[in-house]
Amino acid sequence: MEIENSLLEAAKKAREYAYCPYSGFKVGAAVLGKSGRIYTGCNIENVSYGLTNCAERTAIFKGISAGEKEFEILAVTADTKAPVAPCGACRQVMAEFRINRIIMSNMQGKRKQALLEELLPFSFDEEKLRQNK
Ligand SMILES: O=c1ccn([C@H]2C[C@H](O)[C@@H](CO)O2)c(=O)[nH]1
Ligand SMILES: [Zn+2]
């Protein structure tokens, strides 16, 4: 519970740095690396909307680019009525790095936990790529 609270706190702080002039929808995320380090992220939008990077991917890419190989838990938060859920692109990136535990929350502290296999069933993975004939 302690680590979950720390991750949500870190995600909440990172959310303040969201660059979202087009949607006005601020999101914060934090991911725990196997090393024990926490990497945070916010969403970063672009005038060519499709280049937008979500908070979750910002946090994961920060971890990878700092040398982190494996992760334990990812937390994400936004100012929504129900806990915010990661988009499909972020779920696929979480699958790439086997981030199995996801904590979704809102600003009021409402939480929901899920396993990646629940968020992304029948996922496309390395094993399927290797079945290429
Ligand atoms: O889980 C989510 C959902 C949305 N967004 C961002 C993308 C975009 O900047 C804005 C609206 O979709 O919120 C995230 O960062 N994470
Ligand atoms: Zn996303």
| 108 assigned to some structural domain | yes
Among protein residues, the one with the nearest Cα to ligand 1's atom 14 is: 54
What are 68-118's pLDDT values in tens digits? 999 999 999 999 999 999 999 999 999 999 999 999 999 999 999 999 999
CATH number of the domain within which 108 lies: 3.40.140.10
Please name which ligand lies nearest the alpha carbon of 93: 2
- Is this complex's ipTM strictly greater than 0.95? yes
- Ligand 1 pocket (Cβ < 6 Å) reads 20, 23, 25, 27, 43, 45, 52, 54-56, 76, 84, 86-87
pLDDT of residue 82: 98
- In sequence order, which residues have a C-beta less than 8 Å from that of residue 69 and are 6 or more positions away? 34
pLDDT of residue 1: 76
Ligand 2 centroid distance, CA of 99 (Å): 14
- Chain CA centroid to CA 45, Å: 16
| Structural domain of 95 | 2-125
Considering 56, 117, 118, 127, which one is annotated as catalytic?
Answer: 56
For the question of residue 118 being annotated catalytic, the response is no
| 132 assigned to some structural domain | no
Output the six-digit token pair for 67: 């040398």
| 130 assigned to some structural domain | no
| 131 assigned to some structural domain | no
Return d(Cα 36, Cα 94) in angstroms, integer.
Answer: 18
Q: For 99, which DSSP code? A: -
Please name which ligand lies nearest the alpha carbon of 15: 1
What are 1-57's pLDDT values in tens digits? 799 999 999 999 999 999 999 999 999 999 999 999 999 999 999 999 999 999 999
In the chain, the percentage of residues whose pLDDT exceeds 70 is 100
Closest ligand 1 atom, residue 57 Cα: 15
| 23 assigned to some structural domain | yes
Q: Given the DSSP bridges, would you call strands 27-33 and 101-106 parallel, antiparallel or unpaired?
A: unpaired
Domain count, the chain: 1
Is 47 in contact with 19 (CB distance < 8 Å)? no
